[in-house]
Amino acid sequence: MTWSRFFDAYEPMHALVAEESGRLLGLAHYLFHRSTIQIAPTCYLQDLFTVEQARGKGVGRALVNAVYEWALAAAAPRVYWQTHETNGVAMQLYDKVAERSGFVVYRKLL
């Protein structure tokens, strides 16, 4: 279902890939959604992944920047994402390309 959503022009879910010579280096999945606190859609970066050999080489940063560009083109005023508190390597990049919101995420599986 996810793949069909990526290729459906009416779905707000999108995918980007970073590759070199046909080899996948990384990917980003993002979606646009409505919010009760702003009129324009918000962009949520749901997945950001780089293969281990590409980490620290700018692939993740390039993907985040590409999501920023798509969000700007969609007139989204904000891009946000979550990461686990133990994901220190990724947070080193995130601290350079965005600011921490200070929000804590709560959830209950049903």
For the chain, the 3-state helix, strand and coil shares in percent, each to the nearest 5, are 30, 25, 45
For the chain, domain boundaries: 2-97
Indicate the pTM of the whole model.
Answer: 0.92
Q: What is the pLDDT of residues 21-32, one digit of tens each?
A: 999 999 999 999
The CATH number of the structural domain formed by 2-97 is 3.40.630.30
Q: What is the pLDDT of residues 44-90, one digit of tens each?
A: 999 999 999 999 999 999 999 999 999 999 999 999 999 999 999 99
The rounded distance, in Å, linking the Cα atoms of 41 and 14 is 14
